[in-house]
Amino acid sequence: MLRYLPVRRIHARQVLDSRGNPTVEVEATVGEGIVGIDGYTARAMVPSGASTGKFEAVELRDGEKDKYLGLGVKKAVANVNTKLAEAVLGENALNQSYIDHLLIQADGTDNKSSAGANATLGVSMAVARAAAMALRIPLYQYLGGCHTRKLPVPMMNILNGGKHADNTVDLQEFMIMPAGAGSFEDGIRICTEIYHFLKIILKEKKLSTAVGDEGGFAPDLADSKDVLELIVMAVERAGYEAGKEIVIAIDAAASELYDEERGVYYFPGESQMKGEDVFRDSREMIDYYEELLEKYPIVSIEDGLEEDDWEGWKIMTERLGGRIQLVGDDLFVTNKKRLGCGIRLNAANAILVKVNQIGTLSEAMEAVEMAQHAGYRAVISHRSGETEDAFISDLAVAVGAGQIKTGAPCRSDRNAKYNQLLRICENLGDLAVYENPFENPRK
């Protein structure tokens, strides 16, 4: 059995992400020089957020105003090519935890601010992918083991707002989930049909069909109820039943709405459309969600409150956590310390996992493990700035997350993930498991 697969070469370059911003791509070559083993080279690309949580690991940007508006990543690239490469060259690519430990050590800070989480993550993912290639097994199986066979239910963000679009919709993401579909493939088909019907309805209503960063439509609408009405209409027009085949998830991204000085949430779009300022405090936010879920088949709300409001999260979880999934994104930032805090306080009941929030694969996988042990669900997620890399599709299957959030069925940076899941589905054949994550609700 192959036990030692040395990392032979690490090379990074600057490429572009889906928003036209620079990002890091890393190539890792493993195995060269070992008798009976060829060299294997794999590459990985790093995503990037817009509504970034303030406790996320640091994404290193060059800040040179005359190049890419300061968003270049040449420093992160240089860090990969020097100190991170030095740290892992000759080390065993089959020991991902140790590789990641070396990257964390080479960075030497709590939040990856020295090397950059965009630098460490690129190496971490490229090494994992090269190791899987050398073993000639699919990435999801390498990361998850031989019993891995659970496909995630997609959370498809078909209507964009907040920081991801220039429209008047204040909550960031309105997603459909084919939780009642018979298979992953059917789920993709059903959601895509609904997406197309939503476009037809928007056109009929003379609303914009331009899309936001994650491929969802971004029309100007007065408030969330208008959005939800349109979505239910699209579901029905496509021939499905909202609440049966399709349920709805929201990412409020409330940290973006929070006015720290006044201690309330400000809704700029709703204010503009209604001609008066709309504010909600923490309790009113929860009332607002309660009202929405009474009317619409909502099963999940992400970042319903801002990232520092532990007390509010506790209350929200007490009030809504028995009925729906409450996902912590900016709240937990894929960080075990913050998740541990949430578990102790009984705040939220699920974690959103974004690999670049923490900066290594092992740390992200440990966060999933911690969540699952505590009875929290985990949702593997893309970023609003993405690439053609579909690593998270394999990761979602590997950890058996049961849910993946990766945008609308539109734009190849998003469809790359769905297409990879379709490949995995085919690869698993009859063994593929697809189940409604909300059927046996856990607290």
Closer residue to Zn ion (CB): 99 or 331? 331
Position of tokens 């049966």?
244
**Structure tokens of 64?**
């040179």
Q: Which residues are catalytic?
A: 214, 354
Residue ranges in 283-312 that form contacts with Zn ion under rule CB under 5 A: 302-303
Q: Closest Cα to residue 254, out of 269, 243, 266? A: 266
Note whether 238 and 176 are within 8 A (CB): no
245, 256, 329, 363: residue in contact with Zn ion (rule CB under 5 A): 329
Residue 282 interacts with, from Zn ion, ligand PGA, none (CB under 5-8 Å by kind): none
Q: Give the CA diameter of the chain.
A: 73
Q: How far apart are CA 378 and CA 178, in angstroms?
A: 17
Residue 256 interacts with, from Zn ion, ligand PGA, none (CB under 5-8 Å by kind): none
Number of residues that bind Zn ion (CB under 5 A): 4
Residue 52 interacts with, from Zn ion, ligand PGA, none (CB under 5-8 Å by kind): ligand PGA
Closer residue to ligand PGA (CB): 51 or 141? 51
Closer residue to ligand PGA (CB): 27 or 329? 329
Residue 17 interacts with, from ligand PGA, Zn ion, none (CB under 5-8 Å by kind): none
Quick one: 105 exposed, middle or buried, by C-beta within 10 A (0-12, 13-18, 19+)?
A: exposed
Closer residue to ligand PGA (CB): 6 or 216? 216
Residue ranges in 344-363 that form contacts with Zn ion under rule CB under 5 A: none
Residue 384 interacts with, from ligand PGA, Zn ion, none (CB under 5-8 Å by kind): ligand PGA
Min separation Cβ 133 and Zn ion, Å = 32
User: From the DSSP assignment, how many helices (H) and strands (E) are in the chain?
Assistant: 15, 14
Min separation Cβ 332 and ligand PGA, Å = 12
Task: Give me the sheet containing 7-16, strands edge to edge.
Answer: 7-16, 22-30, 40-45
**Structure tokens of 253?**
């991204």
Closer residue to ligand PGA (CB): 6 or 53? 53
Min separation Cβ 421 and ligand PGA, Å = 19
Note whether 307 and 330 are within 8 A (CB): yes
Closer residue to Zn ion (CB): 91 or 251? 251
Min separation Cβ 37 and ligand PGA, Å = 38
Q: What is the DSSP string of 354-392?
A: -HHHHSSHHHHHHHHHHHHHTT-EEEEE--SB--S--HH
Closest chain position to Zn ion (CB): 329
Q: Residue numbers of the site for ligand PGA (CB under 6 A)? A: 49-52, 172, 251, 253, 329, 381, 383-384
251 binding Zn ion? (CB under 5 A): yes
Position of tokens 């911690």?
370
Note whether 176 and 231 are within 8 A (CB): yes
Binding site for Zn ion (CB under 5 A): 251, 302-303, 329
